[in-house]
Amino acid sequence: MADHSHKLAAEAEKLRDQLNRANYRYYILDDPEISDAEYDKLLRRLEALEREHPELATSDSPTQRVGAAPSEKFGVVVHRRPMMSLGNAMDAEEMREFDKRVKRLLKSDAEIEYVAEVKLDGLGIELVYDDGRLTVGSTRGDGINGEDVTQNIRTIKSVPLRLQHPERGKIPRLLEVRGEVIIPRSGFVKMNQEREEAGEPMFANPRNAAAGALRQLDPKITASRPLDAFLYAPGVIEGVNFKSQWDFLQGIKALGLRVNPLSRVCNGIDAVLEYWNEITEKRHALDYEADGVVAKVNSYALQEQLGEVSRSPRWAIAYKFKAQQAETVVEKIDVQVGRIGSLTPVGKLRPVQLAGVTISNTSLHNLDEIRRKDIRERDTVLIERAGDVIPYVIRVTKEGHPRAKPFEMPDKCPVCHAAIVHEEGEVGYFCVNANCPARMRESIRHFASKGCLDIEGLGDKLVGQLVEQGLVKELDDLFHLTKQQLAGLDRMADKSAQNVLDAIQKARKTQLDRFINGLGIRHVGEHTARQLALKFKTMDALADASEDDLLGVRDIGNEVAHSIREYFDEPRNLKAVKRLIKILEVEAPAEVEGRGALRDKTFVLTGTLESMTREEAERKIMAAGGRVTSSVSRKTDFVVAGAEPGSKLKKAQDLGVRVLDEKGLVQVLAGTN
């Protein structure tokens, strides 16, 4: 019996080592050696072992990343060594002055060796490893006291719970390491797209999103956000002696901690300025927000000799990028109504040039954000372009005179005057009327899009005319349009009018999942629509389903079930759906044999396919249980490359994602490859 227990313990330890090594290869070296499927298989085996034999579980096991109950509040962590802030240089001349000051303090004319690093725009953290195990994770706080966010830090997959044993050297008895938690731009864009589709308020910028995620009281919420971390500074270290900043960076990388690969040793301040120019040019291509470059004297002996002043080191300085900011006046605050009825406050700005673009509108996101920044009409505000793309208000710089009243969300929809729903505890406000003209424009665009009824020719301008002239007040009105009505619109000749009519008639025959997706129900996208169609078979059955019935559908939780039920409980929505049911020929989704083989496999399509359209390929993949996404990542299982593939093919090859040609896709769908 003892021998059996020993074998199980040895197996569990081996699994932990394999999983930790896989994480190290994936996140630190960017060189994965096993597939996601293999990783999941190892993780499931370890989970089973620890579940059946709780005594085998350890605090640093890869299974323990999200296991803590929600916290009522964060405790305080006192940093053993203060987390200092950096002085700033505004231009190259101030950088040269810094270099002269360093030389003067060191009484040396020799060129100083610096380490130049990208300055990340994230949230400062400190990690504490005792004998190689992560024991504490905290925020920077005021530099002396931080918040204990250990359970949330543990959810970040690029942060090891146990240090990797380096090929040379040893694991420190104590390692305090500082760095930054960020959300990559790609993850930020995807997260905001998902929030917009779900009718949730979007985040203003990646830094705010990262800070909010790390300070969630429930670690499971933190785990759902695409957080990442880079480490770059030492705290107290015992058991290992690093002699320089570069030595430290290479040392912690060998221990399994993530460092920025763009960091560089620079001999002299001119090399640092050249580095700043290089990063300035490529900053827009980086997958994270960066707001400058940090230069640090490389030698720790020289750092100690230089010391610090107040709470800033004399041996380091930040050289910020030129700000993409401008001041302008908020002339008015309007409210826009989106496809699912979400109301978004929008600031109408006095036009201003910013980074080569004229900015006249900016989303103010939600009422809470407006109140937090106290933005009112006629105020002068400082605006910035997040990632040099999305303009947003940083703060009010000058209040209007006289000061306008605080902004309030309307009681009724500003377009159709229907009731506004605002659930307690939620940020969003929603128009309940699915036939609201403002919603209708967006609803038609969505209803006609490729993932829904796929009606060619219904572009933004045509849809706008149809709604503005009252020709389409509800979705089913599309199917009653005449050639004469269409030909009477701007830039619509007889031939183009007939083409649109033909496309509309063709769309009468559709699949149930496309129909469900086309309704624009809050929280329901292509994948959820597919699961609903497979479960309920008809739209009538779905409309009659209770929340309990809906909760029985794969991947559907309380929030989605409530949203679906809320949609069909609105009489106007139900009447609109009933009218569409009479018009459309809706096919129930076919259960595809072998569907389980592609369950949750993720595909990306690029290039032109010959034997089928891209939409047909997407339908076949989804019917087989797979998912189709638009961007390639390490989580992608297959990239299907047709003729003239784009950059997605190269990215797939760089990441080691399996690439299929059209024949390979057919074989995978048939379960023969």
State pLDDT tens for residues 231-270: 999 999 999 999 999 999 999 999 999 999 999 999 999 9
Contact 96, 269 (CB under 8 A): yes
pLDDT reading at 21 higher than 80? no
pLDDT at 407: 94
Distance of CA 143 to the CA centre of its chain: 28
DSSP 8-state assignment for residue 244: B
DSSP 8-state assignment for residue 320: E
Residues of the chain with CATH 3.30.470.30: 87-320
Write the CATH number of the domain with boundaries 2-64.
Answer: 1.10.287.610
- Our CA angle for 132, 137, 141, nearest 5°, is 145
Give the model confidence (pLDDT) of 96-122 as tens digits.
999 999 999 999 999 999 999 999 988
Residues of the chain with CATH 3.40.50.10190: 595-670
For the domain made up of 87-320, the CATH class stated in words is alpha beta
Contact 254, 169 (CB under 8 A): yes
Q: Peptide bond preceding 402: is omega within 30 degrees of 0, i.e. cis?
A: yes
In angstroms, the CA 276 to CA 386 distance is 20
Q: Which of the pair, 211 or 303, is modelled with greater confidence?
A: 303
Contact 399, 370 (CB under 8 A): no
658 beta partners: 638
Which tokens sit at 196?
A: 């917009």
The answer to whether the Cα torsion of 389, 392, 394, 398 is positive or negative is positive
Mean pLDDT, residues 334-349: 86
Which tokens sit at 416?
A: 């159709």
**Span between the terminal Cα atoms of the chain, in Å:** 43
pLDDT reading at 425 higher than 70? no
The answer to whether the Cα torsion of 620, 623, 627, 630 is positive or negative is positive
- Our CA angle for 241, 242, 246, nearest 5°, is 170
Which tokens sit at 394?
A: 């940083």
Average pLDDT in the chain = 84
pLDDT at 416: 86
What is the SS3 assignment for 296?
strand
In angstroms, the CA 416 to CA 413 distance is 6
Greatest alpha-carbon pair distance for the chain in Å reads 88
Which tokens sit at 554?
A: 């794969």
Taking residue 509's Cβ as centre, other Cβ atoms within 10 Å add up to 11
Q: Catalytic positions, please?
A: 119
Closest CA to 199 of 559, 541, 458: 559
Closest CA to 146 of 90, 80, 50: 80
Give the model confidence (pLDDT) of 546-571 as tens digits.
988 998 886 687 878 888 998 898 88
pLDDT reading at 388 higher than 50? no
pLDDT reading at 30 higher than 90? no
Mean pLDDT, residues 413-434: 80
Which tokens sit at 635?
A: 């989580």
Decide yes or no: CATH 1.10.150.20 for domain 437-507. yes
Residues of the chain with CATH 1.10.150.20: 437-507, 511-587
Which tokens sit at 380?
A: 């002068």
Which tokens sit at 663?
A: 């024949």
- Among 64-68, 426-430, 668-672, which is the least confidently predicted range? 64-68
Taking residue 289's Cβ as centre, other Cβ atoms within 10 Å add up to 21
366-385 burial, b if ≥16 CB within 10 A, otherwise e?
Answer: bbebbeebebbbebebebbb
Element at 135 (helix H, strand E): strand 133-139
pLDDT reading at 5 higher than 80? no
Provide the pLDDT confidence category of residue 593 given band limits of 50, 70 and 90: very low
Contact 640, 598 (CB under 8 A): no
What is the SS3 assignment for 479?
helix
pLDDT at 387: 46
Q: CB under 8 Å to 91, separation ≥6 — which residues?
A: none
Q: Which of the pair, 39 or 191, is modelled with greater confidence?
A: 191
Give the model confidence (pLDDT) of 497-519 as tens digits.
888 899 999 999 999 999 998 89
AA identity, residue 521: I
Closest CA to 130 of 158, 157, 152, 163: 163
Calculate what percentage of the chain has a pLDDT beyond 70.
90
pLDDT reading at 645 higher than 80? no
Write the CATH number of the domain with boundaries 595-670.
Answer: 3.40.50.10190
In angstroms, the CA 279 to CA 638 distance is 33
Tally helices (H) and strands (E) across the chain.
24, 26
Half-sphere exposure of 105 (CA within 13 A, CB side): 19
pLDDT reading at 130 higher than 90? yes
DSSP 8-state assignment for residue 59: T
Q: In the CATH hierarchy, which fold is given to the domain comprising 511-587?
A: DNA polymerase; domain 1 (1.10.150)
In angstroms, the CA 440 to CA 448 distance is 12
Q: Per 3-state DSSP, what percentage of the chain is helix, strand, and coil (rounded to 5)?
A: 40, 25, 35
Closest CA to 620 of 645, 640, 643: 640
Closest CA to 637 of 594, 614, 667, 668: 668
Residues of the chain with CATH 1.10.287.610: 2-64
Decide yes or no: CATH 3.40.1710.10 for domain 325-398. no
Counting beta carbons within 10 angstroms of the beta carbon of residue 395, is it exposed (0 to 12), middle (13 to 18) or buried (19 or more)?
Answer: exposed
Q: Highest mean pLDDT: which of 31-40, 120-129, 414-423, 433-442?
A: 120-129
In angstroms, the CA 542 to CA 515 distance is 12
Which tokens sit at 67?
A: 């296991």
Closest CA to 160 of 2, 22, 340, 10: 22
Q: Highest mean pLDDT: which of 303-307, 417-421, 603-607?
A: 303-307
